Amino acid sequence: MNQGQSRGVRIYDNRHACYFCEKVVLHIKEHLKTHRNQDMVKDILKSDQPNFTSLRKFGDDRHNRKCVEKKQGEIILARRPKGKFDVTDYGPCPNCREWVMLDHLKLHYRHCQSHEKNTVKMRRKDLVFQAQVLAGHLKDEPSSLMSKEVLPIMTRDVMSQTAQNDPLVMALGESWLRRNRGNVEKRKYYASSRMRLCARLLLALRDTKSNKDEKTYLEEGDDDEGDGDVKCEALVPKADDSKGLWHYLKPNHFDDIVLAAIKCAIPNADDEDDLLAPSNAIMLKYDLHRLINSKWAMIVKNGSADDEEAKNCKTLLALMDLEWEERVTRFARLVLARRKYEYKNELPSPKDIEQITKYLRKELDHLELVADNFRRLVALCQARILLYNKRRSGEVETIKLQFYASRSKPSDGIDESLESDLSPVEKHLLESQEFLRVRGKRGRPVPVIIPPDAKRALAFLASVEGRRSSGIVEGNPYLFPNSVNHYARAYESLRFVCGGTRSTRTT
């Protein structure tokens, strides 16, 4: 129900709805006693001081949820609201199901849960989100804000398709929209970027070892054959694998979740510095909390909190609180070590580099600029620039089209932001060749020099026609795109090129 759709909702504060027959009555305690054949009522009546509070709240909750769903009826609240009433400002406490103002939920919850054992700590935003799901404020179908603002700006690619087909990711997007309702300019971007991040997580999860027996994402593209086909489509889901996040958010998938989070949160971490600040992984942790909480709420909405699957959600949340930070760091180091190892093995000796460079220059010079050669050109350019500049691979592979468009010509001179760290040789190179700026360590701009022999190919990779004819997704921001909205991997390119020189040597 949207803001302002509260017409036709009247508020009771002295009547309650019966959990069993759904009648709204003035004296609920007396009324509930008439259902003495029900086990729950029997149990309560056994006590010396029968307490119907809990059952009353559950009855009210069921009643309110029906009102929200039908968009009519009278909401039962603990307190008469002051001022303008908007039903979406209210929702049930996930613990006792009393409907309270969402702004006061945390306060209520702390008090409400204080008598319980085995409690999991809940953040205010998570609680509110859970209550919104329970209340039915977050619908299965996209809200009008979502349809009008967010969905149209999401590029039509695998990531957004995945996001839009996953109920949990959609619910998360809705919650981001709501939370930033006041920020009219930015809210759609917040929502869509978090939805895409979670979609990427889902794709990575589908790709984890336990799901793919043969090989993991980390080992993608081990092309021993060197048949010249660069593998860039690791993130494209297999047609037969359509399991949603719901399936993966379970305690027994915890390891996979951690691994997947690292893979999509810090894809370019090839440096200790990147790993020491895994802010994206931390951000994902918050989103995961919210996703798990909403799964819990969706289960409990139609069943009970004793449900095995609902309990699993709580276990997973507890696991995350206990182990996330440490695991993420450990896994991240593992990823790093592995990449370094692979890189060392891939990195050619100086003598080989000379040969490879010769090969690259020849290829870049002669290769025809046509769609069929697009991927080959991507690999050649990446390898050439990587070896020429000795930059970190992450800096090279993520070069944006706009960096290329605003590259410096020799006549432009060097600005002060770059000057301080340069050696005389580098300075000379920058004064005589084209270069572009990328974000280096700690966000400082660093130069990437464009070797003259790569100019022709780069112009093709950046051209609208070149990209369109080669099937590159429109809006892909990278100079070295792959077929989805991502970029080609520099290591893969280097590996591919090494394969190329080997085969030329043998022929």
Q: How far apart are CA 42 and CA 49, in angstroms?
A: 13
Q: How far apart are CA 230 and CA 150, in angstroms?
A: 33
54 binds Zn ion (CB under 5 A): no
- Checking 97-106 for CB contacts under 8 A at 24+ apart, the result is 97/57, 97/58, 97/60, 97/61, 97/134, 98/57, 98/60, 98/61, 99/60, 99/61, 99/64, 99/75, 99/135, 102/128, 102/131, 102/132, 105/131
Question: Binding Zn ion by CB under 5 A: which of 112, 120, 310, 401?
Answer: 112
Select 118 or 349, whichever has its Cβ closest to Zn ion: 118
Q: Tell me how far, at minimum, the Cβ of 32 lies from Zn ion, in Å.
A: 7
Q: Tell me how far, at minimum, the Cβ of 19 lies from Zn ion, in Å.
A: 7
- Amino acid residing at 92: P
**379-418 CB burial, b ≥16 within 10 A, e <16:** bbbbbbbbbbbebbbbbbbbbbbebbeebbeeeeebeeeb
96 binds Zn ion (CB under 5 A): yes
Q: What is the dihedral of CA 98, 100, 102, 108, to 10 degrees?
A: -70
Q: Tell me how far, at minimum, the Cβ of 20 lies from Zn ion, in Å.
A: 5
20 binds Zn ion (CB under 5 A): yes
76 binds Zn ion (CB under 5 A): no
Rg (CA), the chain: 29
Question: Binding Zn ion by CB under 5 A: which of 75, 76, 87, 93?
Answer: 93
Q: What is the DSSP letter of 454?
A: G
Select 95 or 280, whichever has its Cβ closest to Zn ion: 95
The distance from CA 478 to its chain's CA centroid, rounded to whole angstroms, is 19
Q: Tell me how far, at minimum, the Cβ of 122 lies from Zn ion, in Å.
A: 12
21 binds Zn ion (CB under 5 A): yes
343 binds Zn ion (CB under 5 A): no
78 binds Zn ion (CB under 5 A): no
Q: What is the DSSP letter of 237?
A: P
Q: Give the pair of three-digit tokens for residue 9.
A: 């909702």
18 binds Zn ion (CB under 5 A): yes
Q: Scanning residues 146 to 205, which ones bind Zn ion (CB under 5 A)? A: none
The distance from CA 120 to its chain's CA centroid, rounded to whole angstroms, is 24
Q: Tell me how far, at minimum, the Cβ of 8 lies from Zn ion, in Å.
A: 24
Q: How far apart are CA 449 and CA 498, in angstroms?
A: 22
Select 91 or 173, whichever has its Cβ closest to Zn ion: 91
Q: Tell me how far, at minimum, the Cβ of 415 lies from Zn ion, in Å.
A: 59
Size of the site for Zn ion (CB under 5 A): 7
**Site map 229..268 versus Zn ion, x via CB under 5 A:** ----------------------------------------
95 binds Zn ion (CB under 5 A): yes
Q: Tell me how far, at minimum, the Cβ of 66 lies from Zn ion, in Å.
A: 15
Q: Tell me how far, at minimum, the Cβ of 38 lies from Zn ion, in Å.
A: 9
Torsion over CA: 317, 319, 320, 321 (sign): positive
- Give the footprint of Zn ion on this chain (CB under 5 A): 18, 20-21, 93, 95-96, 112
